[in-house]
Amino acid sequence: MVSGTNKKLKVVWLCHYANQEMLGYFKKTKGNEFAPWISILIDQFKSEESVELHIVAPNVITNEDCNFIKDGIHYHFYKYLPFIPIFNKYFRKIYYILKIEQITDCFWIKNKVPTIINNINPDIIHLHGAENPYYSAGILPIIKKYPLITTIQGFIRQSVKKDWETKQRIRIEEEIIKSCKEFGTRTEDMNNVVLEMNPSANLHFHFYPLEVPTVAKENIGGDEPVDCLFFARVCKDKGIEDLLDAIAIVKQKIPNISLHVIGSAPWSYLSFLNQKCKQLDIEKNVHFLGFFKTQKDIYKYALQAKVYVIPTYHDIIPGTLLESMFIKLPAIAYSVGGIPEINSEEETVKLVEKHNIGQLANSIQTLLESPELRKELAGKAYSWANRRINNGAIVEDILKAYKTILNN
């Protein structure tokens, strides 16, 4: 409530996401889902009567302005590329090749988004992620105009890529973090990174919700047909190249080792990875399965695997890692970001030093050769996930943050 009245708290979420429901809004049947935590969080707020929630997000489906109300939520999808939708196919590539967004310093977004938000006139803005300029840059012209909380999704500044686009994303991310006062965080590592850039920041704890798998492995340590599974965005930052190097080492001891990779990747990068597999003589061991339409499809497939491997170079706590824990799929990960905090009480995830390919290979081989160790690790991980991940408490934590910020 606002200032002790019966008026609903008017909240804007500036974010991005795509799901099957969003595809349905625009009568589309095909499209990639992403940022599932936003979709789940929207569902949780549908029954929150104290809030009038406005979603301001780029229309990644048709690149058109579209406003409507559904299930009590106000949606404001906006045209994020400045050309007529019918010409998307032709101009999208030209727009990116010419680096229009970088050259104009997100001029379109910095005008489009503030206009929408000013028309809403919210009590508070909740920015979900500072690292994606095609929506986050829109907060900069009005960053001091409204009460604002920025929840960190990740830090693009930690990316290994340093091309023109990434450098712009880093610059805008840092500008937002240095200018904002209030932050949503969920790990000590995340707190440290924010405070390093903004020592006067106020931190508000809240998790993002997770689509908790309704299936779990019953045959832990059995004869699953897939040895190793990787499901995440297929890119260098997620450690896929390190994983291929490690598989090549393990193959010397386990000739028939299998790695199944679920996730999307540009054709050029996938071609590079296939060539790398040939050079490492593991092309028959590694299977690239592409993008799965839903999370549930991934969960079902994961039941066939013995080990989940996610050697990401940087992350808070990967959602895919948490999902593997709920599935009772033992996991191996690099000891980066907030991941080591999972092992603060006992070993629930097998941690490996970043870029230590030999240690990564040894951990994979050890788990594959020890069904009992896999079973023990999976049991502890499943127990930790059920104790720590509570979707029901997230709405309460976020509303508490709003109240604290507005009272101050």
What pLDDT, in 10s, does the model give residues 383-395?
A: 999 988 888 899 9
Q: What is the pLDDT of residue 82?
A: 85
d(CA 272, CA 259): 17
Q: What is the pLDDT of residue 90?
A: 64
Q: Give 74's pLDDT tier (boundaries 50, 70, 90).
A: very high
| First and final C-alpha spacing in the chain | 15
Q: What is the pLDDT of residue 220?
A: 74
210 three-class SS? coil
The answer, yes or no, to whether residue 170 has pLDDT greater than 90, is yes
User: Left if phi > 0, otherwise alpha if psi is -120 to 50, otherwise beta: which for 308?
Assistant: beta
Backbone angles phi, psi at 266, to 5 degrees: -60, 150
Q: What is the pLDDT of residue 4?
A: 47
When mean pLDDT is compared across 59-68, 153-162, 275-284, the lowest value belongs to 153-162
The answer, yes or no, to whether residue 376 has pLDDT greater than 90, is yes
- Quick one: average pLDDT of 256-282? 96
Predicted structure pTM score: 0.86
Average pLDDT, the chain: 92
Q: What is the pLDDT of residue 293?
A: 78
Q: Give 1's pLDDT tier (boundaries 50, 70, 90).
A: very low
Query: Which domains are delineated in the chain?
Result: 9-210+390-407 (3.40.50.2000), 226-388 (3.40.50.2000)
When mean pLDDT is compared across 96-100, 314-318, 374-378, the lowest value belongs to 96-100
- Quick one: average pLDDT of 285-295? 90
d(CA 300, CA 229): 12
Q: Give 175's pLDDT tier (boundaries 50, 70, 90).
A: very high
d(CA 221, CA 75): 46
* Residue 292, token pair as written in the block: 């799965």
Residue type, 326: F
Q: What is the pLDDT of residue 347?
A: 96
The answer, yes or no, to whether residue 168 has pLDDT greater than 80, is yes
- Quick one: average pLDDT of 185-198? 95
Q: What residues contact residue 42 under an 8 Å CB cut-off, 6+ apart?
A: 13, 53, 55, 73
d(CA 76, CA 129): 18
When mean pLDDT is compared across 51-55, 102-106, 262-266, the lowest value belongs to 102-106
- Quick one: average pLDDT of 63-78? 95
Query: Strands 73-78 and 66-70, how do they pair?
Result: antiparallel
Beta carbons within 10 angstroms of residue 70's beta carbon: 11
d(CA 95, CA 101): 8
